[in-house]
Amino acid sequence: RPARRGRAEAKNDAGSGSGSANSSRATLLWFRQDLRLEDNRALHAAADTSLPVVFLFVLDDGAAGDWKAGGAGRWWLHGSLSSLAASLEARGARLILRRGDATAIVPALAAEIGAGEVHCGLPHEPWMRKLDEQVAAALEKAGRRLVAHRVATTMDLDAVWSKSGTRFGVYSPFARACRAAGAPDAPLSPPRTLACPGPQPSSDALDNWNLLPTRPDWAGGLRNSWQPGEAGAQARLKRFLDGHLDGYGASRDAPGEADGTSMLSPHLHWGELSPNQVWHAAHDSIGGSAGRRAGFETFESELLWHDFSAYVLRHNPALPDRPVRGAFERMEWRRDPAALQAWQQGRTGVPIVDAGMRQLWRIGWMQNRARMITASFLVKHLLLPWQEGERWFWDTLVDADLATNSVSWQWIAGSGIDSQPFFRVFNPVTQSRRYDRNGTYIRRWVPELRELPDRWLHAPWEAPEGVLTEAGITLGQDYPRPLVDLSEGRNRALAAFRRIAGPDKRTT
């Protein structure tokens, strides 16, 4: 395919301040969710100025408000920043860390080092976009400019329109338009040389940011599972392409299959590698294999879901908090803190749900099929608000991503863009029997059920007493009885939905 998808467009380039840029002494590179040196257009643009580059990361929890990084995200950020700082040091540069109001910090540092231009990645989170406007305005007043570069999507999202000139509200035509635009741009190698200023501005010490948990230290499972940073991202990509691209179409739905998916999501969220790098590495690895080609095509669709989520959030900034379909504002969600806590802790009594929730707690990540099942169970069988689940995922996922998380939760709830209808209720036992047929996933994460035969593993409450005794299980003691009768839960959800649905059962 012709390489037409990308083009290195730069945004927010106010055009003013070029006089000042000419008399600049340095360039400022403001890292955010693009914590990498490879294929980083902002970094290239900064290096291309041939001026000394100052590298900055600002932790601005105030601007992020409710959506500041959660616990698992902060753990990841610590590792990622420390890896980026080491990579920069190896090139004779330094990462400057500052904490506080970016609208003050960025313009002040630009003034201190005499930078006419500040380069950064183009965000899609509403709070970051607002921040960019404020920073750009503050810089402009001083004759400087902010230049934002696409770093996190394969497509220029502002250039994706339907043939009739409207925005896409449905994934499939969006994906078709993206595919028709050709291959994403080939990745850029890191600039060969980075000119750094002599005396460096002052920096906070990363350890003083207290991003890592201490009392209690709950991050043992995260440390054992992940290597944040560019090297870890590359290693994960290689492992996936060496082993699992062939057959990805099936393995991506099998939560028990080790490495059945790429596990690149936290690396992609923090921008330790770009979707373009992933796309090209996967594409180049197809060779002549029909199986790998089929795997690649499914994998590409997932990368496009990532783009689509960012696109949807850009055009629906209220998405993380409010249902897109207005009727869902009237949904009579239940309030049940005990049920919510049981779900969070993986004690619902439904094994596949508990397996997913415990995987999330232990390693900060959950397989996609399990995310769909656990989310559906919360929203439908427990009839608890999707925002509660979204918040819990936000705090516990290392890949917590405002766009993907909110699009996915609203997809499950039926309240979003191109969602599955609310009345389609996943039966967790049927899902479990289909996708975790031999119980590998359940046995791994819910070890107290390990001895139950496959036949009863997915719904232990249906097992005869003798089978439970032989497996060493007393329900209600060693493992909970189900929080809700599955058919009662389903009917309760459907009844609540009927009360908000119009006569044709749609809720637009």
User: Cβ of residue 80: shortest distance to ligand FAD, in angstroms?
Assistant: 15
User: Cβ of residue 299: shortest distance to ligand FAD, in angstroms?
Assistant: 6
Identity of the residue, 261 or 274, whose beta carbon is nearer to ligand FAD in the bound complex = 261
Residue 273 engages ligand FAD in binding (rule: CB under 6 A):
no
CA separation, residue 30 to residues 37, 41, 302 (Å)? 13, 12, 29
CA–CA separation, 369 and 439 (whole Å):
14
> What amino acid is encoded at 452 in this protein?
L
Q: Would you call the peptide bond into 187 cis, given omega within 30 degrees of 0 as the criterion?
A: no
Residue 241 engages ligand FAD in binding (rule: CB under 6 A):
no
Identity of the residue, 333 or 461, whose beta carbon is nearer to ligand FAD in the bound complex = 333
Q: Interacting stretch for ligand FAD, rule CB under 6 A, among 2-10, 163-171, 211-219, 255-263?
A: 255-263
Residue in 5, 252, 325, 381 binding ligand FAD, rule: CB under 6 A = 252
Residue 233 engages ligand FAD in binding (rule: CB under 6 A):
no
Identity of the residue, 55 or 305, whose beta carbon is nearer to ligand FAD in the bound complex = 305
Site mask for ligand FAD (CB under 6 A), range 391-410, x = bound: --x---x-xxx--xx--xx-
Q: How far apart are the first and last CA of the chain?
A: 38
Q: Interacting stretch for ligand FAD, rule CB under 6 A, among 145-153, 215-223, 305-313, 447-455?
A: 305-313
Residue 305 engages ligand FAD in binding (rule: CB under 6 A):
yes
Cα radius of gyration rounded to whole Å, the chain: 24
Residue in 118, 412, 429, 449 binding ligand FAD, rule: CB under 6 A = 412
Q: Is the dihedral of CA 99, 56, 129, 17 positive or negative?
A: positive
Identity of the residue, 80 or 405, whose beta carbon is nearer to ligand FAD in the bound complex = 405
Residue in 261, 316, 419, 432 binding ligand FAD, rule: CB under 6 A = 261
Identity of the residue, 225 or 368, whose beta carbon is nearer to ligand FAD in the bound complex = 368
Residue 44 engages ligand FAD in binding (rule: CB under 6 A):
no
Residue 377 engages ligand FAD in binding (rule: CB under 6 A):
no
Closest C-alpha among 410, 256, 261, 236 to residue 321: 410
3-state secondary structure of 432: helix
CA–CA separation, 410 and 413 (whole Å):
5
CA–CA separation, 320 and 313 (whole Å):
8
Closest C-alpha among 459, 456, 454, 461 to residue 437: 454
CA 340, distance to chain mean position in Å, is: 23
Residue 244 engages ligand FAD in binding (rule: CB under 6 A):
no
The bridge status of strand 10-11 relative to strand 26-31 is: unpaired
- The four Cα atoms 427, 428, 429, 431 give a dihedral, to 10 degrees, of 90
CA separation, residue 217 to residues 211, 229, 345, 366, 477 (Å)? 12, 21, 17, 20, 28
Q: Where are the beta strands (DSSP E) in 122-223?
A: 145-149
User: Cβ of residue 236: shortest distance to ligand FAD, in angstroms?
Assistant: 9
Residue 415 engages ligand FAD in binding (rule: CB under 6 A):
no
Write down the residue that tokens 């009739």 correspond to.
164
Residue 375 engages ligand FAD in binding (rule: CB under 6 A):
yes
Report H helices in 16-164: 18-22, 41-48, 61-64, 71-90, 102-113, 126-141
Residue in 44, 74, 145, 306 binding ligand FAD, rule: CB under 6 A = 306
Give the catalytic positions in this structure: 302, 305, 333, 368, 386, 409
With CB under 6 A, what is the number of residues at the site for ligand FAD? 27
Residue 174 engages ligand FAD in binding (rule: CB under 6 A):
no
CA–CA separation, 163 and 317 (whole Å):
24
Residue in 282, 303, 327, 483 binding ligand FAD, rule: CB under 6 A = 303
Q: Interacting stretch for ligand FAD, rule CB under 6 A, among 57-65, 284-292, 364-372, 430-438?
A: 364-372
- Per CB under 6 A, residues contacting ligand FAD are 252, 261-265, 268-269, 302-303, 305-306, 309, 368, 371-372, 375, 393, 397, 399-401, 404-405, 408-409, 412
